Chain A
Amino acid sequence: MASSAPPPALTLPPSQFARLQPHAYLLAHLSPPASSNQPSLRANGRQPAQFRPTSANTGSLTHTNGSAVVRVGDTTAVCGVRAELLPTSDIASWSVSHASSGAHKRATTTKNDADADADESHIQDLNLLVPNLSLSTGCAPGFVPGAPPSALAQSLSHQILGLLHSTRLVRAEDLRVWYQVPSFGGDGDMDVDAEEDEGRKKKNDGKEIKAFWVLYIDIMIISLAGNAFDAAWAAVLAALRDTRLPRAWWDADNEMVVCSEAVAEATRLSLRGLPIASSFCVFEADAAAGWRAVIVPDAEEEKKIEEDQRRGMQRRWILADPDGYEEGLSQERVCLVVDREMGKTVIVKMEKNGGWAVDGRELKQLVDTAAERWESLKLILEQC
């Protein structure tokens, strides 16, 4: 028997092939024999840069201030935003920090638009945004319901929190409940020194913050078929766009914040921009699911891969919006969050880990792909 003979093919139905030889199965789809004249497609039938069909629906959950259901292929995320009040009297450090730093910060917020709002730190310092993602919903086998959040769930929650903070999506001003202190004496003759001496929680213009809205952003992944982050983030975004906060004021008689139930008086959040996440993974023909002995290819190997590429023999594929199967077969991940302003793409977050295949050139292409995705998802979010 010649040693160059190909291994006898074990004929398996596709479902068993997919299960036994996942790497070879995906590779066979991506690089079909030239004779077959078939296009290079992923096992799920998508082009490498193709995202799954996405749909969004908002406002269907009764007990939320805002809610959304986003389906990206077979991954479904449900997000509910619930607003509760945090009276400043409950904040232990409030009177101290407020008295020392409040005065001049107020001046900037009223003058400039909220974009230059120096008080954004309130959101982070006071934990006004509380996102939590749950995978313990039976969304996929392997996540035990009732168990504490898995590492993946914790990591996703923190990624969402980080993104909420870094994009400054929610304006702190939207979350404040102000109170105009009735002036007792003459107007404006109370200077700053006097106020600080008294140590009272009163401002030079007689306005003070009585409470903050805290937004509990809970994401339930109902069905998980890969790329939970994109779906979860889209759901958060859609739910926040749907969120309405009731008009709230300080009721001096009852000494509490009360709200109006009138829908007409409620206000929507004015979000900053529309950051949209796109995730990718890298599938390699050679990596053979971790069997590679050498972790980093040397220069020659790399050259060979590039040469092959030029000759039309693709050795690695960057797959957009990977499904669960593809995620399991790739080590390298890229996550881009982009926004577009006046035709220009702004990179809000770029994260890449687990490999060496994606370099500057590929990243540029991915940013373009993410920008296209931004356009299509924007339409979907605006229509829901």
Chain B
Amino acid sequence: MTDRRRINGPPSGTRPAVFASSLKSASGDATERPRRHRQPNELRKIFLKTGLIPSASGSAYLEYEPSASLAAARSSPQSLIPPSSALKLACTVHGPKPLPRSATFSPNLVLTTHVKYAPFAARQRKGHIRDASERDLGVHLETALRGVIVAERWPKSGLEITITILEAEDDRWWGDAPDSHDAPWGMMNVLAGCITAASAAIADARIDCLDLVAGGVAAIVSDDAVAEEGSSSTPKLMLDTDPAEHKSILSACVVAYMPARDEITEIWLKGDHSKASLGVDDSSLGHEALIDGAINAARGAHTVLVEAVLESAERYAGLSSSDS
């Protein structure tokens, strides 16, 4: 069915470019999987800024620092195939505003969340209509935020949170066979970014919150690289994983975490963590370590969040100078 409200391309559809290098046998001699240069518990830097979109009640823009391989590819481009990608998203908060006429009376603030990828956000072109994964992200984000907002302070009104993802995280390394990683791991990083950005935008809109909720990701990975170095391929716990950098992600976890209260509002754990007994001396279960790791990652994101929100508060407090 053609979309009459948009400009459509050729009716027969188009094909993404196929690169000659990917046709050759997967010996991997030409290109190598990007390597993680960070420590297992080292996070990528997060750029977070509030208030860039003045027509919204609150807004935030978030960007992850490119991984080492991507940064290198940016500074001296050799290949047209990007080794990895780094999250970039914009979040706006509109409201509190009247509920639609069809809505029933609500004594609380009604939250709606909406996550959409730009068509050029991922390696595969995304459609204009939200797909299942985007809806899924929206639902996860809503649960993450609903526990944070003091909804009863805003009766019979609605808050609309919209996130536009300009660049998403890869689900796997492009050189891997499409089925080598079973799950879309990149989505979890995207969700963590959405949570952190939405939290900043809500604070920027001055909607009452219990805490600044932050998102964090941890994953249990098993890498060839580790095996080569002799220490048998024991799975390792890593924070803020870039899926392109790992051959195999066994399981991953994203949390929305409120540091001041030590509470989790949303947890999403995927994959098989039963195999992952992390070292002999570590008797803790895989999933507990995983959740703790994700919490640590969220704490890291929280420090960035605090700075961004303080900046928003300062800008707001000093508003009187421009208010004439």
Q: What residues of chain A have their CB less than 8 Å away from a CB belonging to chain B?
A: 14-15, 60-64, 67, 74, 76, 78, 80-87, 90-92, 126-128, 130-132, 134, 136-141, 145-146, 148-149, 154, 157-158, 161, 214, 216, 218, 220, 222-225, 244, 246, 248, 251, 254, 256-264, 266, 324
Contact = CB atoms under 8 A, between A and B. Distances in A.
A83 to B, nearest CB: 7
A248 B18 CA distance: 9
A84 B55 contact: no
Contact of B116 (A92, A132, A136, A216): A136
Contact of A132 (B7, B18, B85, B122): B7
Nearest to B15: A85
B233 interface: no
Contact of A258 (B23, B82, B167): B23
Interface string B1-31: 0000111111111111111110100000000
Given A136-B116, A222-B164, A63 B10 contact: no
Given A127-B8, A132-B128, A257-B18, A138 B162 contact: yes
Given A145-B160, A154-B5, A61 B55 contact: no
Chain B residues touching A, majority SS: loop
24 contacts: A63-B121, A67-B120, A74-B53, A74-B54, A76-B53, A84-B17, A84-B125, A85-B15, A86-B10, A86-B14, A92-B12, A130-B9, A137-B116, A137-B164, A138-B161, A138-B163, A146-B114, A246-B17, A246-B19, A257-B17, A259-B17, A259-B19, A260-B20, A263-B79
B147 interface: no
The 10 closest A-B pairs by CB, nearest first: A138-B162, A80-B120, A138-B92, A84-B14, A223-B53, A90-B12, A145-B114, A62-B85, A137-B164, A130-B9
Contact of B166 (A61, A83, A131, A145): A61
A84 B70 CA distance: 23
Interface of B: 5-21, 23, 52-56, 59, 70, 77-82, 84-86, 88, 90-92, 94, 97, 114, 116, 118-123, 125, 128, 130, 160-164, 166-167, 323-324
A158 B84 CA distance: 34
Contact of A61 (B11, B88, B91): B88
A10 to B, nearest CB: 18
B50 to A, nearest CB: 13
A261 B21 CA distance: 7
B20 A259 contact: yes
B60 to A, nearest CB: 11
B314 to A, nearest CB: 20
Given A138-B92, A220-B118, 17 more contacts: A62-B167, A63-B85, A63-B121, A86-B10, A87-B15, A127-B10, A132-B6, A138-B53, A145-B116, A154-B5, A157-B6, A216-B9, A223-B56, A261-B21, A261-B79, A262-B79, A324-B55
